[in-house]
Amino acid sequence: MSILVLAEHDNASLKSATLHAVTAAQKIGGEIHILVAGAGAQGAADAAAKVAGVAKVLLADDAIYGHALAENVAKLIVGLAGNYSHILSAATVNGKNILPRASALLDVQQISEISAVESADTFVRPTYAGNAMTTVQSSDKIKIITVRATAFDAAAETGGSAAIEKVASGGDAGLSKFLGQEVQKTERPELTSARIVVSGGRGMQSGENFKMLEEVADKLGAAVGASRAAVDAGFVPNDYQVGQTGKIVAPDLYVAVGISGAIQHLAGMKDSKVIVAINKDEDAPIFQVADYGLVADLFTAVPELAKELNK
Amino acid sequence: MKVLVAVKRVIDANVKVRVKADGTGVETQNVKMSMNPFCEIATEEAVRLKEAGKVTEIVAVSLGNAQCAETIRTALAMGADRGIHVQTDVELQPLAVAKLLKAVVDKEQPGLVILGKQAIDDDSNQTGQMLSALLGWPQATFASKLVLNDNATANVTREVDGGLETIEVKTPFVMTTDLRLNEPRYASLPNIMKAKKKPIDALTPEQLGVDPTPRLKTLKVAEPPKRSAGIKVKSVAELVDKLKNEAKVI
Ligand SMILES: Cc1cc2nc3c(=O)[nH]c(=O)nc-3n(C[C@H](O)[C@H](O)[C@H](O)COP(=O)(O)OP(=O)(O)OC[C@H]3O[C@@H](n4cnc5c(N)ncnc54)[C@H](O)[C@@H]3O)c2cc1C
Ligand SMILES: Nc1ncnc2c1ncn2[C@@H]1O[C@H](COP(=O)(O)O)[C@@H](O)[C@H]1O
């Protein structure tokens, strides 16, 4: 059995989401190969080759993979699929965009966002915003799977010495073109891999007020997240959203400020190790999952928290 | 141009979903059902395109049991022109839905198919990608903005992990909606009345030549582990003390 893991990367380096997908592959068992499809992606391939437990890295280096267009990457995967019993990717936006396309081309029913491996053909996945854990068994010849990163530890970044094999480009499908991007630049850690996350909700009232949270986040070395309501209101960019339809996080510490705790928000953070909630409504549902709840007005509590952390 | 929207009937987003005691699924008896929120956004986008004169006809498609016709009615009340109901009691998984939708697309020849990015029951996030693969069309997933160009292309802004990205796709194409594409309207009473007169065609998987048999067998459905209730702290100082000395996370 060989398992292909599609790398999440920025050409220069490997994203940590890939390391979690590698651990899921290890649980399935078999020889693990990482596919790096990119443009000028030697750096990412070198990083992938060092990951513990990886036997081989396949590098498809071509300008057409520069922006991970699904039509092109899926085509590449389909060409390689014959050698594999399983094809995995982290459930990042790229993974979710590309893998179902490859799946349909291979006539396979993908298994989305698994949170546990029961055996080589049986997996557990959250459904209904995490309210039902569903165990499914696949009858397909190839198992195509996206992996919920927070449910699997990261594989060690070093210790491996896999060979890097160049694979031919799968060719340009000619269906779509990358035009541009608006990427949020931040010195803070990435939301999905941060050890601490401080999130704000509608209670923050404005984007300006998020500065208070950023101050606390910077003292803690934390990432900043948000509820959907805060994103929809334009307080913060879309990629801050935590939840069923945003990012799934499970940091050591999650601080929810002015967030009511709707089921769709909880779906994205309730596996955090320690949860703190600051809310002026003592009946807010967020308190039902919080290890430490503080009933207070955030406009006094958050500045106080910043001060207290200075001590 | 004709637009097809795929609308799924799901347990309403505000319902607290409960797992059945026998572990075979979730309770659906006497539970409020609604159109999947992302499908409302898909329908709204199609209606706006029609209002802007870019689209001539909107066809709403739903697949599943008899009650899915109600979900199609909702789309018709929002402004879709007619419905197609692919009727079956078989459990439909995304690959089967994509194959059935492909067969419908082959008959209807739309220039654009809009789906939700995700159904909030199975949380699969697959069907749109699969449909575009089967059609050999481009895919524009997680869309937060759509601009149809005059030269048979469209610019679509997508919500990606690092922010936003814009791609250009050739028409025909498949788009899946993210939350911020638009805010769906409520159907007005007159429009709900009008929708009752709009036609819904019924089809079966057999008529479409598709075998919808599920590939994934559900072995068990279980409740997620519960978090034990925590404590309320009285002050910020106590909170910081607990985080430092009890939880040891800062
Ligand atoms: C299909 C679908 C998908 C969704 N996906 C997501 C998702 O991925 N992520 C997500 O977060 N939501 C999601 N939602 C939305 C979700 O249902 C809630 O609407 C949203 O999470 C509410 O955000 P909120 O808690 O910030 O706002 P509210 O529910 O309005 O809560 C604001 C809270 O702030 C408190 N507050 C106000 N002022 C203060 C103050 N001065 N001091 C202290 N506390 C204060 C209030 O007591 C209240 O509890 C989704 C909904 C749907 C239908
Ligand atoms: N049974 C169905 N009927 C109509 N549309 C569907 C159905 N299943 C999935 N879809 C469409 O596919 C989208 C994504 O669903 P999924 O891939 O299951 O998360 C939904 O938002 C719908 O637009």
Show the domain range for A252.
Answer: 196-310
Q: Is A206 exposed, middle or buried (0-12, 13-18, 19+ CB in 10 A)?
A: exposed
Average pLDDT over residues A68-78: 98
Specify the residue with its C-alpha closest to ligand 1, atom 27: A202
A116 and A29, same structural domain? yes
Asked if the model's pLDDT at residue A53 lies above 90, the reply is: yes
Domain residue spans of chain B = 2-225
Distance B6 CA to ligand 2 centre (A): 6
Domain count for chain A? 2
pLDDT value, residue B156? 98
Give the model's pLDDT for residue B228. 82
Q: Residue B8's closest CA among B53, B61, B45, B49?
A: B61
- Which residues, at least 6 apart from B177, have a Cβ–Cβ distance to it below 8 Å? B38, B41, B42, B45, B114, B115, B116, B117, B143
State the smallest CA–CA distance between residue B117 and chain A in angstroms: 9
- CATH at residue A124: 3.40.50.620
Examine the domain organization and report whether A44 and A159 are in the same domain: yes
Q: Is B124 on the interface with A (CB under 8 A)?
A: yes
pLDDT at A183: 87
B235-250 burial, b if ≥16 CB within 10 A, otherwise e?
ebeebbebbeeebebb
**Residue B184 near residue B40 (C-beta atoms within 8 A):** yes
pLDDT at B135: 98
Q: Are residues A33 and A120 in the same domain?
A: yes
Share of chain A above pLDDT 70, in %: 100
Choosing from B3, B63, B73, B115 the residue with most ligand 2 atoms within 8 A of its CB, the one to mutate for a pocket test is: B115
Q: How far apart are CA A54 and CA A17, in angstroms?
A: 15
Q: What's the CA gap between B162 and A209, in Å, rounded?
A: 22
- Do A201 and A283 belong to one domain? yes
Tell which atom from ligand 2 comes closest to the C-alpha of B118: 19
* ipTM of the complex as predicted: 0.97
Which pLDDT does position A311 carry in this prediction?
Answer: 83
What is the dotted CATH code of the domain comprising B2-225? 3.40.50.620
H, E, C per residue of chain A? CEEEEECCECCCCECHHHHHHHHHHHHHCCEEEEEEEECCCHHHHHHHHHCCCCCEEEEEECHHHCCCCHHHHHHHHHHHHHHCCEEEEECCHHHHHHHHHHHHHCCCCCEEEECEEEECCEEEEEECCCCEEEEEEECCCCEEEEECHHHCCCCCCCCCCCEEEECCCCCCCCCEEEEEEEECCCCCCCCCCCCEEEEECHHHCCCCCHHHHHHHHHHHCCEEEECHHHHHCCCCCHHHEECCCCECCCCCEEEEECCCCCHHHHCCCCCCCEEEEEECCCCCHHHHCCCEEEECCHHHHHHHHHHHHHC
With CA atoms as reference, the chain B residue closest to A17 would be B161
pLDDT score of A184: 79
pLDDT for the residue numbered B63: 98
Residues touching ligand 2 (Cβ under 6 Å) are: B 6-8, 36, 38-39, 42, 62-64, 92, 94, 97, 115-116, 118-119, 122, 124-128
* Residue A146 in this model has a pLDDT that exceeds 90: yes
Whether A160 and A14 share a structural domain: yes
User: Is the overall model pTM greater than 0.95, yes or no?
Assistant: yes
A186 part of a folded domain:
no
Residue A176 lies in a domain: no
A184-222 confidence digits (pLDDT tens): 788 899 999 999 999 999 999 999 999 999 999 999 999
User: Which parts of chain B register pLDDT below 70?
Assistant: none
The ligand that comes nearest to the alpha carbon of residue B117 is 2
Per-residue model confidence (pLDDT) at position B90: 97
What value does the mean pLDDT of chain A take?
A: 97
Residue finishing a domain among A147, A166, A185: A166
